[in-house]
Amino acid sequence: MRLILASQSPSRAAILRAAGVEPVLKPADIDERALETQLAGHSPADTVAKLATAKAEKVACRYPDEPVIGGDSMLLLDGQLQGKPHTVDATIERWHQQAGRTAQLLTGHCLIFGTQRHVETSTTTIRFAEASATDIEAYARSGEPLECAGAFTLEAMGGWFIDSIDGDPSSVIGLSLPVVRRALYSFGLSVSDFW
């Protein structure tokens, strides 16, 4: 039995690999921005869950006999969801907004196994450091945070600028192992089936 990961995120794959699972990578090709526009007015938790569900559904039809995981993460700051900044300038601007502040990282999960599904959003509180302007610019220019929800990583260079978190560290990196475990159990599977 294999776990199918409907994502191109190296962080999500790395979490599973570090936990003893070699996922089958099948990135879902969905228009996230168009879907985000359609979801305007939905709660932040519902938005990330629906994005994760769209990814899982896109891939699950090809793997009816294996569990498929879709995930999506966004930072909730001042009541607004923040996705990937994509550019150096947007990353610098984002960091000037969030430095020294507290925000919530929401990670939506959808696991589909045949006709069964488990949808859950995990929330982790992030306390950002008062990073200097020099470090913010250097971090943005490194390229690391450009394709990361919230414009940061916890497990790499961005870890310098995170003072603390309250919640599941794996969720901040991109995929909550506790959520995946609960989903597998609900499907009658064991985590060790995939080691």
Q: Which residues are annotated as catalytic?
A: 72
d(CA 13, CA 179): 15
Instruction: Name the amino acid, one letter, at 181.
Output: R
- Containing H/E element for 133? helix 133-142
Q: Maximum Cα–Cα distance for the chain, whole Å?
A: 51
